[in-house]
Chain A
Amino acid sequence: MLNLVRETIVSYAFIERNFNLLKRYLSWEILFFSYSIVNALTIGLIMVGRGSSEDVLYLVIGALIWGFLSVMMREVSDAITWERWEGTIEYTFMAPIYRITHLVGSCLFAILYGLLRTALVLAIMPLFFGEHIDLSNANWLTLVVTVLISSLSFIGIGLMAAIFPLLSPEKGQAATGIIQSMLLLVSGIYYEIEVLPAWLQPISQISPATYTLRSIRAAMLENASVESQIGNLSLLLVIGILLIPLGFWVFHLGEKYAKRVGRLKRSG
């Protein structure tokens, strides 16, 4: 039987390891963090002088939430890429742990890291935008609930994306990037999905980012309560509940394939 206490302690190994790696690559982190700030600023500034403060915040929220979701998705997949590069994946796969423990540990780190980075960027935004970023009307509870529920879906997508680096670290990163850009296109990050060509709009209906953005914008711009977003959040929850087991199943198939054809080794 799955010993929950032991597995939770074991999953902490991945969180601790990734934070240790983050400390060692601090200069890279500062670089990525600066890029996130510049990205949010560049996008937000498009509307300064052209639209209302609400329009500025609309774009900034898009940039921040997309930053959070893509960081989270990328971290899950990068955890595998990294291990493939270093050759440690064979040791992790040889350890007496359930794969779910391994992947949940990586996902928890991704959520914590994504939240930390996004919160820091958000805290800096008012320094640049002044009165354009008015967060006094925001409903923070709706924001937190939406972020937590949407994390499930993005972890599911991240798990599916993680099989690409498992099979090939070089091509895998590119494949993860393609999935991310597809989601960016169809999910209404910087525009309403109604402006998409009609044939693309059905795809945006199955993207969890569409519903995440909808509820977060409602919370930040209109002080929407959790109750008012219940329909949207329920859909998001259903997508998450479907995507997580699907993600594990796809990863399991990828692992089995890698063990059959010998893709786990780096050399030797």
Chain B
Amino acid sequence: MEQPIYGLTVRGVTKHFQRTKRTTDKPRFHQKLQHIFRREKEVIRAVDDISLEVNIGEIYGILGANGSGKSTLIRLISTLLLPDAGSIQVFGDDVVTNSLKVRQVMNRVSVEASFFKRLSSEENLIYAARLYGIPAPEAERKSKQILERLGFDADRMNEEMEHLSRGMQQKVAIARALLTTPMLLLLDEPTTGLDPKSKRDVQAFIEEIRQERNAVIVLTTHDMAEAERLCDKIAIIDKGRFIAEGTVEDLIANAPSQNGVPATLEDVFIALTGKGIEEED
């Protein structure tokens, strides 16, 4: 029987990194010398045997503390990291062996709105659009439309990025991703650090995209309310592993209520990970 093609399929993906071992003890002189010539390494399991499937038209949320592996997973899907094991397919194409085709249908917004800070948002967006074969006039028109929908004053498109607030920069980052009409949109903490108004604008826009297009959206977040509002399905990630997955209702139903008060998504998170979402792994 033929396997159904999902928008995004991740099977048993693992990514380990090596880093110099940290020590809390004050090293002695001979240990410092030894350290110069031979640094002890430790293996960090950033993503550990993760599997997931996201259907077309679905928003899949990944909830996790800082350093839990969310961004590494997003980078693996984005072709920016090579997995140590497992496979990732986007609309049936493997991200390692068919990366060029995958990159055509995908885009990403990361927590850091990375731009050429001395260029204007217009120059940055035209540059980004050209990389996808979109001519400058079309890029200009589309970016204006998207930015205006996000509540960004289009008259400020000629200002250098470094003069824009963090919220405005993040809106430009969202416009950069949407300019290319991606079928797979990876949103890596898109609202972290935004003021409440900008946060609401961005969340409303994500909802609009879901209604307008049959795109696949993966959203990583710290924000429980955001996950509840936007996601069709949520996975909780801790130390690189998925420890729970399901709809908000499924996750809450499996958590015990406390003194007759129904559990919240945050209760579920604390019960499963043993820590608050703001704590680092």
Instruction: Identify the A interface with B (CB < 8 A).
Output: 6, 9-10, 12-13, 16-17, 20-21, 24-25, 82, 86-88, 90-98, 256, 259-262, 264-268
Residues of A within 8 A of B133 (CB): 6, 9-10
List residues of chain A with CB within 8 A of the CB of B110: 90, 268
Q: Is B58 an interface residue (CB 8 A)?
A: no
Chain A residues contacting B166 (CB-CB under 8 Å) are: none
A10 to chain B: which residues have CB within 8 Å?
130-131, 133
Number of A-B contacts (CB under 8 A): 95
Interface residues on B, range: 35 or more
- In the A-B complex, the 10 residue pairs with the smallest Cβ-Cβ separation, listed nearest first, are A87-B114, A13-B130, A95-B131, A96-B104, A96-B103, A24-B118, A17-B127, A259-B82, A268-B71, A88-B114
Q: Which residue of B lies closest to A268 (CB)?
A: B71
Question: Which chain B residues border A93 with CB–CB below 8 Å?
Answer: 79-80
| Contacting residues, chain A, for B103 (C-beta < 8 A) | 94-96
Binding site for A on B (CB under 8 A): 17-18, 71-72, 75, 78-82, 100-101, 103-104, 106-108, 110-112, 114-119, 123, 126-128, 130-133, 160, 176, 188
Do residues B82 and A268 form an inter-chain contact, with CB atoms below 8 A? no
Interface SS majority for chain B:
mixed
Chain B residues lying within 8 Å of A91, measured Cβ to Cβ, are: 108, 114, 128, 176
Contact between chains at A86 and B131 (CB < 8 Å) = no
- Contact of A17 with B123 in the complex, beta carbons under 8 Å: yes
Q: Measured between C-beta atoms, what is the minimum distance from B124 to chain A in Å?
A: 8
Most chain B beta-carbon contacts within 10 A, residue among A12, A25, A82, A97: A97
Q: List 14 A-B contacts (CB under 8 A).
A: A9-B133, A16-B127, A16-B130, A17-B127, A21-B116, A24-B118, A24-B160, A88-B115, A96-B131, A260-B82, A262-B17, A265-B71, A265-B75, A266-B114
Check B82–A21 contact: CB distance below 8 A: no
Residues of A within 8 A of B75 (CB): 90, 262, 264-265
User: CA separation between A91 and B250, bound complex, in Å?
Assistant: 36
How far does the Cβ of A195 sit from chain B's closest Cβ, in whole Å? Answer: 39
Residues of B within 8 A of A95 (CB): 103, 128, 131-132
B160 to chain A: closest residue by CB: A24
- Shortest distance from the beta carbon of B18 to any chain A beta carbon, whole Å: 8
In the bound assembly, the distance between CA atoms of A95 and B130 in angstroms comes to: 10
Contacts of A264 in B (CB 8 A): 75, 80-81
